[in-house]
A and B are shown apart, each in its own frame.
Chain A
């Protein structure tokens, strides 16, 4: 990652009133939210293995 992004400097910050957070933290939190939404939205590949039916 360091080869792609220059990590050898202080990160930028978003400062709005009381809100203060670095860009790396914002990116990670947004990425978690996106992955969470995709995990719910994207259908799981159907398995051909026998599965137990829901009780």
Chain B
């Protein structure tokens, strides 16, 4: 929008806000972004683990914000603090539990089909970044458990060649990674992942091949398509 340059009958000059808006609405029109219908094939339990992972992530973020506001003395020595600390831990456990099942389901249905490679890649990347996010959380607990984990895991960091700038025994550094940098990356990747799911749609399952029950076995001993039960 350019104030002063717009005269009746003249063509509106394109600004970056207009370009972004047109591109965003073109890629994700409102009926696609907030759809009220889903394909019939999503009526399967295997399709619920993505949203379960997001639910666990939201609990992680909410409980983590409270822990960040209150600090280590609170989460170690008060009843409510211990409760939030436990909620943060178990939400993380459930996040990985659901995420791995989601990953298995999408892997075996080849979810990158139909132009969905970016959806698959952002999901896989979010999983990979979640691992150091959790690790930096375990070493930020401020207890003997954190000390044990950091001294054990630092050898792995040194072996990977990143120990000189990623020091697991440095609480300040690990805490910054855990509450700011890595969660920001995970949230960004999850948001992009969900928008790509909205844009490309949920991947359909493989077609069930029509077969009969009385076909002969194939030359390699396996049943041919016509010999498989439907």
Report which B residues bind A (CB closer than 8 A): 37-41, 43-46, 48-49, 93, 97, 100-101, 104-105, 204
Q: Digitize A44-55: 1 where CB-to-B-CB distance is under 8 Å, 0 elsewhere.
A: 101100111111
- Tell whether, in the assembled complex, residue A39 and residue B40 are in contact, meaning their CB atoms are under 8 Å apart: no
Bound complex: CA of A39 vs CA of B49, how far in Å?
Answer: 9
Bound complex: CA of A52 vs CA of B38, how far in Å?
Answer: 5
Interface residues of A in 21-55 (CB under 8 A from B): 28, 31-32, 35-36, 38-40, 42, 44, 46-47, 50-55
- Tell whether, in the assembled complex, residue B41 and residue A47 are in contact, meaning their CB atoms are under 8 Å apart: no
- Tell whether, in the assembled complex, residue B41 and residue A32 are in contact, meaning their CB atoms are under 8 Å apart: no
The number of inter-chain residue pairs (CB within 8 angstroms) is: 47
The one of A31, A42, A50, A54 that contacts B41, using a Cβ cutoff of 8 Å: A54
Determine the chain B residues whose CB is within 8 A of the CB of A47 once the complex forms.
43
Closest residue on chain A to residue B90 by CB atoms: A1
Q: Assuming A36-B104, A39-B105, is B45 touching A52 (CB within 8 A)?
A: no
How many Å from the CB of B56 to the closest CB on chain A? 14
Determine the chain B residues whose CB is within 8 A of the CB of A50 once the complex forms.
37
How many Å from the CB of A5 to the closest CB on chain B? 14
10 further A-B contacts with Cβ under 8 Å, apart from A32-B100, A40-B46, are A31-B97, A36-B46, A39-B46, A39-B101, A51-B37, A51-B38, A51-B43, A52-B38, A52-B40, A53-B40
Bound complex: CA of A54 vs CA of B204, how far in Å?
Answer: 8
How many Å from the CB of A4 to the closest CB on chain B? 14
Determine the chain A residues whose CB is within 8 A of the CB of B39 once the complex forms.
51-55
- Tell whether, in the assembled complex, residue B45 and residue A38 are in contact, meaning their CB atoms are under 8 Å apart: yes
Closest residue on chain A to residue B205 by CB atoms: A54
Bound complex: CA of A54 vs CA of B38, how far in Å?
Answer: 9
List, sorted by A's number, 19 A–B pairs whose CB atoms are closer than 8 Å: A32-B97, A35-B101, A36-B46, A36-B101, A36-B105, A39-B44, A39-B45, A39-B101, A39-B105, A40-B44, A40-B45, A42-B45, A44-B45, A46-B43, A50-B37, A52-B37, A52-B40, A54-B39, A54-B204
